[in-house]
Chain A
Amino acid sequence: MDLLDVRNLNVNFQLKREDLAALIDINFSLKHGERIAFVGESGAGKSILGFSIVNLISRPGYIKSGSIKLNGNELSHLSNRQMRHIRGKRIAMIFQDPMMTLNPVLTVGEQMVEAIRSHTDLRKKEAKNLAIAKLAQVQIASPENRFNQYPHELSGGMRQRVIIAIALLLKPDIIIADEPTTALDVTIQAEILELLKHICDDNNVALILISHDLGVVSRVAERTIVMYAGRIVEQGPTLEIINDPQHPYTQGLLNALPQMSLPGHRLNQIEGAMPSLNDRPKGCAFHTRCPYVMDKCKQKQPDSLYNGVSHVACFMVEDMMKEISDESYDFDEGDGPDNGAYLLSISQQKGDV
């Protein structure tokens, strides 16, 4: 059985005059120890999805319909009191800015002991030992001293390590990391990502990484979910998504990276901007920016179809699959937009220059 199973999840925001849909028909599952990533621009709904798993969306947001099952137990109907046993204990969260997450007037130790004691009946002494052991596990030097320090005495990378240690305290099944390295430098980012990956492997913890950086995602996640305007547009193995993206939005995101164009040339930008919640276009939400837009894209929303490797919601890909199956080709030889070859040709050109 899957560890986490999300089916047909809809999250809305109830405003005075209108009821805006922030997440529409979200379906995905997570296995024990698996690392997945949510990718998309700001406003795609990836953070809302992360928050709604632990039921942290506050009014005016609410879960309209759908189910979120952790080990077969429904989470979306739980009361706040019941949810408190899940949050922190079964599902831990790591947020973007480590300075905002740690309480500035409590020492690191006090915060860790508080978290342990509110979920277990360990004594203070035992809790302290556990906390120091976890600090050591996230490779903090001299954890006994750090235990008594205040957050402002630690550097940014160190703070994020403390947060990871806190997340690990109660042996959770899932860690949700919402842009954990955005506030950090590249060298520190590399260390933290490496640490997260090891921690998850060693403790068999599943990881949900929320990020807008495809480079970060490719380093950590096994599976990637690409989101656009509240819907999942593509999901599949990270390597496949990066080397052979199917959905035009995923292609656009990848092609916009500076390393995908020759130095000194224009970058391949996606024209326009993501629509806001209250003027979502009819049909496929991406059709206003899509280079391959067809008439039917403006009429109705494409279904998410499985092409043997990944799930894609796009009429162009659907047509291509139909064509291929009509002419009874092998799926592997389908001539979709081949980014792998594109990448290769770019790197060859770079070598020649």
Chain B
Amino acid sequence: MKRIPLLQISDLEKRFTVNEKWMSQWSLNKGRSYKRQNTVYALNGITLTLHRGETLCIVGETGCGKSTLARAIMGLTKPDAGEIHYGDQRIDNLNDRQRLIFRRRMQMVFQNPYASLNPRMTIYQTLSEPIRFHNPHLTRTEVDDKVSQLINSVGIAPSWVDRYPHEFSGGQRQRISIARALSVEPELIVADEPLAALDVSVQAQVLNLMMDKQEEYDLTYLFITHDLAVVEHFSNRVAVMYLGAMCELSPTKTLFDSPKHPYTQALLSAIPRLDNNTQKPIKLIGEVPTPYDAITGCPFHARCPFAQERCIAETPAMKRQADGSSVACHAVEEDRL
């Protein structure tokens, strides 16, 4: 049976203008004034399908556009081109009022639990607000019951709901953020580096909680991270992004067993592992450039050890491989890796 895609993204593009103020666009050179507007090309044609009940991880270095993608899906930034479909309805061009029903079906967990909880609201207020907003018919006791059941299910005592966020540790706060996301019973949770601010042991607690909740509510996760060990453990499929473009999309096991794109190979070799420290990381020259100009050719060509003229001239398309992965690379296509 073919699964119905929950979310379909096609050719999504997003550009940011750096100097928005009219005055700051002018510069003086040799007595003449010039007007110039800098643009950052954050997303360049992302196509992605998310199935119900799966966990898709998006990995990539800082500045590759993974957070922008998450925010575009949630409707927090408006994409410049491309479409996002949720189920069978297009959602990227909705206004706030039309989007309300989708806000309930998709929720987001943010990176920094110290910044994403309102410090002036108690945990009860934080959790009950979305419940009351989306279920106006509930009575006060019903809301109370729901809040205490929710907070209990993420491993925090219901008697603590009248406390403020600063009274909790980082791991507890991240669990509260998850409880808040779960409070409206969503289908999709977009998590933007939810583990980055946490210690290893606390990371394990939060990850376990997320897996339990997935089983309980049949949740779909779009999980953004740069920690590949977490990816290997947690996800069904992995999307690797570089400079606003997708370079590889594979089932997790395939990706870790046989990474195809040169960037994926370098990324995997850079994980500090406990067991095999004999393997030398593949060195990449330079760092991720900021995409100030529209990219011609393969976005990775400047750092790629296998780059040829074709890579500079022509943008590679995602090609499906025999083992179920999709790779955008001329070198893989021509079989010269």
Contact = CB atoms under 8 A, between A and B. Distances in A.
Interface of A: 41-42, 155-158, 185-191, 193-194, 212-216, 218-219, 242, 252-254, 256-259, 261, 263-264, 266-270, 273, 343, 347, 353
Nearest to B233: A258
Given A187-B266, A190-B281, A273-B171, A259 B272 contact: no
Q: How would you classify the secondary structure of chain B's contact residues: helix, strand, loop or mixed?
A: helix
Contact of B202 (A190, A213, A273, A347): A273
Given A215-B271, A258-B229, A264-B233, A252 B201 contact: yes
A297 to B, nearest CB: 19
A156 to B, nearest CB: 7
Nearest to A211: B272
B36 interface: no
B201 A193 contact: no
Contacts of A252: 201
B267 A187 contact: yes
B274 interface: yes
Contact of A263 (B61, B226, B233): B233
B226 A186 contact: yes
A37 B79 CA distance: 46
Given A257-B200, A267-B233, A187 B171 contact: no
A269 B272 contact: no
B273 A259 contact: yes
Contacts, number: 112
A259 B288 CA distance: 27
B252 A268 contact: no
Nearest to A267: B204
B20 interface: no
Contacts of A219: 272, 277
B234 interface: yes
A268 B204 contact: yes
B284 interface: yes
Contact of B203 (A185, A188, A256, A343): A256
Contacts of B234: 258, 263-264
B283 A191 contact: yes
The 4 A-B residue pairs whose C-beta atoms are closest, nearest first, are: A215-B272, A258-B233, A269-B204, A190-B270
Contacts of B200: 41, 212-214, 253, 256-257
Contacts of A155: 287
Given A41-B201, A263-B233, A269-B208, 12 more contacts: A185-B62, A186-B271, A187-B281, A189-B270, A214-B200, A215-B272, A215-B274, A216-B272, A256-B201, A258-B233, A263-B234, A263-B253
Nearest to B270: A190
Contacts of A273: 169, 171, 202
12 contacts: A155-B287, A185-B226, A186-B228, A190-B281, A213-B200, A214-B200, A215-B229, A256-B200, A261-B233, A263-B233, A263-B253, A264-B211
B232 interface: yes
B171, B212, B271: most-surrounded residue (chain A CB, <10 A): B271
Contacts of B283: 191
Given A157-B287, A258-B230, A263-B233, A218 B201 contact: no
A156, A185, A191, A193: most-surrounded residue (chain B CB, <10 A): A185
B231 to A, nearest CB: 9
Nearest to A254: B274
Contacts of A193: 272
A252 B204 CA distance: 11
A242 B207 contact: no
A84 to B, nearest CB: 34
B205 interface: yes
